[in-house]
Chains A and B, each alone.
Chain A
Amino acid sequence: MNDPEGADGDGQDDEAVRDLLQRSLRKRLYSPNLLAGIQHRIRQRSRGKFFANGWSVRQGGIGHVWIGLATLLLVAIAYCVLGPIDLR
């Protein structure tokens, strides 16, 4: 289609329609949380190779170092509670 250029888009009628649109539609829409779905698609299509960290599915949560330290701490506590086993 060939559009006639230079039409003035700010006449009185145009303002009335713009006002109607803003009143009826420019409210905050309920937006779904898209992040999980996007992450899933990216990982699926890249076979987990897209992000720099390779395979992580976390969203800024606990790091692997902390998980390792917590595991070591649990083992140490268990050792202290149960006590060294006397094999003699």
Chain B
Amino acid sequence: MPFADDAEARLVERLVQRDERAFNTLVRAHEARVFGLLLRMIGSRAEAEDLAQEVFVQVFKAIGTFRGESKLSTWIYRIAVNLSKNRGKYLRVRHAGQEDDFAAMDERVNLGHAKQQAAVGSVARPDDMAAGKQLERIVQHAILQLEPTFRECLVLRDIEDLSYEEIEAITGLPEGTVKSRIHRARGQLRELVERELGERIA
């Protein structure tokens, strides 16, 4: 197998042999990022948790087909993105009109604080922390309003901080399309956030 990393090759070998400790190691190493990715893609903690568990079940079932042509984490992300697309379609039909977890967060915070956070940054005092939450809510809500194909590229690039090559491997899209979708997604997101804040993002 063309693995770039010996340790990863050994781990995969143990996974193929269905070594329970190797499975536990894999889950602990990747659960936080997989859950975070799914939460940003779907917007519901309960759905993200359920889907993250399903991702690892699928990973374990399909580990025999992993050939080491990409990093193991990239392959896991690919499964996560594909499952989140399917779940997203299902949820849009089933729960049309319902609020996501972020929209349901406390909205009593002064919007002026969130505007300051959008312009400046660091979060320290309780007021600032509340404003940071408010800004997170606004941004997350905007992300969920993006077209799903744009959203996945944006989340992978700007939140998960993956390289264009990794995003190509995960989505199966050519580089030009990935860059184009990220660019468009940023434009759409900017409009949505600015509309909510009532001012331009500096």
A–B Cβ pairs within 8 angstroms, 8 of them = A7-B180, A9-B186, A17-B189, A20-B139, A22-B158, A25-B136, A31-B35, A32-B45
Contact B49 A20 (CB under 8 A): no
Nearest-CB distance from B104 to chain A (Å)? 16
Q: Does A34 contact B (CB under 8 A)?
A: yes
**B interface residues, Cβ below 8 angstroms from A:** 17-21, 23-24, 27-28, 31-32, 35-36, 39-40, 45, 49, 52-54, 56-57, 60, 117-118, 121, 132, 135-136, 139-140, 149, 154, 157-159, 161, 174, 176-177, 179-184, 186-187, 189-190, 193, 201-202
Contacts of A35 in B (CB 8 A): 24, 27-28, 31
Q: Decide: A38 near B57, CB < 8 A? Known: A24-B117, A32-B49.
A: yes
Give chain B residues whose Cβ lies under 8 Å from the Cβ of A25.
40, 136, 139-140, 159
* Residues of B contacting A14 in the complex (Cβ-Cβ under 8 angstroms): 182-183, 186
The 4 A-B residue pairs with the shortest CB-CB distance, nearest first, are A5-B176, A31-B32, A17-B186, A7-B180
Closest to A2 in B: B177
Q: Does A4 contact B (CB under 8 A)?
A: yes
A26:B161 contact, CB within 8 angstroms = yes
In the complex, what residues of B have CB within 8 A of residue A28's CB? 32
Q: Are A42 and B186 within 8 A (Cβ)?
A: no
| A6/B57 in contact, CB under 8 A | no
Q: Which A residues are CB-close (under 8 A) to B190?
A: 13, 16-17
Q: Which of B56, B60, B187, B189 contacts A34 (CB 8 A)?
A: B56
Q: How far is the CA of A8 from the CA of B36 in the complex (A)?
A: 27
Does A29 reach chain B (CB closer than 8 Å)? Answer: yes
Complex alpha-carbon distance, A4 and B158, angstroms: 20
A51 at the binding interface (Cβ < 8 Å): yes
Closest to B135 in A: A24
Known contacts A20-B201, A25-B139, A9 near B35 by CB under 8 Å = no
CA distance A17 to B31 in the complex (A): 27
Question: Does B35 contact A34, Cβ atoms closer than 8 Å?
Answer: yes
Query: Judging by beta carbons under 8 Å apart, are A42 and B57 in contact?
Result: yes
Interface residues of A in 14-62 (CB under 8 A from B): 14, 16-18, 20-26, 28-29, 31-35, 37-38, 41-42, 45, 50-53, 56, 59-60
